[in-house]
Structure 1
């Protein structure tokens, strides 16, 4: 009976995986697949109680609680674009190097939701995963997920750790993926995690997402779309290695920037986040919670204004804004 149940669960997971990884951006099976995927995992592992709702405070931001991390799966385009980007990146490494691909997945949450579809589509000799997760409750569930779907052969190792401080034991890693962020790169440790891992790995490693762009925008009452004023950060591989080259001992240094603009009484300034996970897998304004506008609170409400922006890493990462 248990074997029959496992077979049926794996069959459902395989079909959801195929539909999520479908190369079409919009298709009839996408939303049912993502919701079915989430429901499948939530049905097997009860996360609707009080478990896992507390965040873990780190030196570089909040690691969100198990329950909240799991809920992110239900964001349709977010799950599709990140999973699909990982799949195409793995296939790309296999195609170039004709070897087993090693993926380092930092911040797995309880389900390692971006990895399961890839495991269902490939063989263990094609891809191996190292999982990093700080939350012990998430680790406990993750172990059960792996066993439920008989996926242990794909897992090289699991580490309970703070990925922003973790020491990489070897450089035999082909792809790093982390989706530990909030809109405008606030609150969560995405930037610190990627900088820490990149500082220990060669530059030919694939980092996903490939680019996170945060721009200052003006939103006017009655206007349909925000007006872009200035790009504040384009967090990609080139910038990561530039920061690493100008920093030491994980004390990452970011350049500040002055921006001038004019505001009317109907204008609001906000931060807009655009994510290119990789080519063909883009998340733009309002595609997910990561792409919602982050409004700025300023003392000066209208007229000419000069603002200084600098990204900082501390217990609540984000842009520090100084009105000049």
Structure 2
């Protein structure tokens, strides 16, 4: 019991520093470092175990391996902004209704990294979580983490499931949280998790992150920041409603975006990613691994009129092609 209380006190102290207002402060990096060590020690993450490094391939993207999912906590601004965004969303919901606020957290990894600091700031009467994770190794480590902190009272349900096809047992959900994404929305199933869940829920639900924007951008080697040429997708609640409205049997359809790149050199074309988690919690260029450049792949080097489209088959991401050539 003493050990559990000590762990909770550590988590509360870490959480206080993460939730502190402002973009950056001198307690933030030490807090994230301490949080990482705490979770890695409890979860017994082993970088040498092949099963912990193995991704699970799904029709709508890869569920990353336990080791890789665990390492996401190390990204300082990413962890700060997501946790703080969730905290503010819960506060807003509690101002609208009495608790408990029900949060559906899809793709928890081995730690439910974004949930734990929240649990020690609210009571079980204020917040309840449903935790979804497809990776059995991550799921088992998550159970150990919940046990170590004795946070069972905050957990309504934990399931091993594919969140891209998960059927909700009930629709009493206030907040949907998923951090199952990569730069430029490649590889991972974020888009399809959110579409699946949103297609089953009514109005008034907060989705975190609120908006993911992928732009076609130009960046020359000697420039410090990219220049946006065209926005390819603003993936937010309005876009989800639009896609769901035009879907048949959950076959999600994405529009084609035509762009004339003019005199831009194909070698200078990149996808750039901006993420609004909630309110003023934002991740921009190079703030995290989610915001790194992703090069546009073009076989036809002289094409000026390009067509971009997001797709799911095999590996999610954008295709870019001219009128006559398809690039995958």
Please state whether the residue corresponding to 1:262 is helix, strand or coil. Answer: coil
8 Å CA contact 1:187–1:317 kept in 2: the answer is yes
State the alpha-carbon separation in 2 of the partners of residues 29 and 281 from structure 1: 18
How do 1:14-93 and structure 2 match up within 5 A?
A: 14-48=12-46, 49-50=48-49, 51-93=51-93
CA deviations over 1:118-144 (Å, ceiling 9, x no partner): 001110000000001000011101111
Higher share in strand: 1
> What TM-score does the superposition give when structure 1 sets the normalisation length?
0.96
Do the aligned partners of 2:52 and 2:65 also contact (CA within 8 Å) in 1? yes
Residue in structure 1 matched with residue 228 of structure 2 by the alignment: 228
Q: Return the alpha-carbon distance in structure 2 between the equivalents of residues 249 and 319 of structure 1.
A: 22
State the 1:115 CA deviation. 0.2
Q: How does 1:75-224 map to 2 (within 5 A)?
A: 75-224=75-224
Preserved contact between residue 220 and residue 266 of structure 1 (Cα < 8 Å): no
User: 5 Å matches for 1:263-282?
Assistant: 263=263, 267-282=267-282
What are structure 1's unaligned runs of at least 5 residues? none
Is this contact kept in 2: 1:263–1:301, CA < 8 A?
no
TM-score, normalised on structure 2?
Answer: 0.95
1:149 positional shift: 0.2
Question: How many residues in Structure 1 have an aligned counterpart in Structure 2?
Answer: 321
SS of equivalent to 2:120: helix
Secondary structure at the residue paired with 1:315? coil
User: 1:62·1:315 contact (CA, 8 Å) conserved in 2?
Assistant: no
> CA offsets per residue over residues 264-302 of structure 1, 9 Å max, x none?
559510000000001110000000000001011223445
- Distance (Å, rounded) in 2 between the aligned partners of 1:311 and 1:105: 24
User: In the alignment, which residue of structure 1 is the partner of 2:257?
Assistant: 257
SS of structure 2 residue aligned to 1:132: strand
Contact 2:218 2:264 in 1 (8 A): no
Shift of 1:321: 1.1
Partners of 1:280 and 1:227 lie apart in 2 by 22
Secondary structure of 2:216's counterpart equals: strand
Deviation sequence 1:4-61 (CA, Å, 0-9, x none): 2222211111100111111222111001101110111112222123141000000100
Which residue number in structure 2 is paired with residue 314 of structure 1? 313
Taking the aligned partners of 1:229 and 1:265, their CA distance within structure 2 comes to 12
**Contact conserved, 2:42 with 2:148, CA < 8 A, in 1?**
no
Worse overlay, 9-18 or 269-278: 9-18
In 1: Cα distance, 2:284 partner to 2:222 partner: 21
Q: Secondary structure at the match of 2:96?
A: helix
Mapped contact 1:221–1:267 kept (Cα < 8 A): no
After superposition, the CA RMSD in angstroms is 1.3
Q: 1:47 to 1:115 in 2, by over 3 A?
A: same
**Residues 183 and 289 in structure 1, CA contact (< 8 A), matched pair in contact too:** yes
8 Å contact 1:34–1:76 — kept in the other structure? Answer: yes
CA distance in 1, matches of 2:100, 2:90: 9
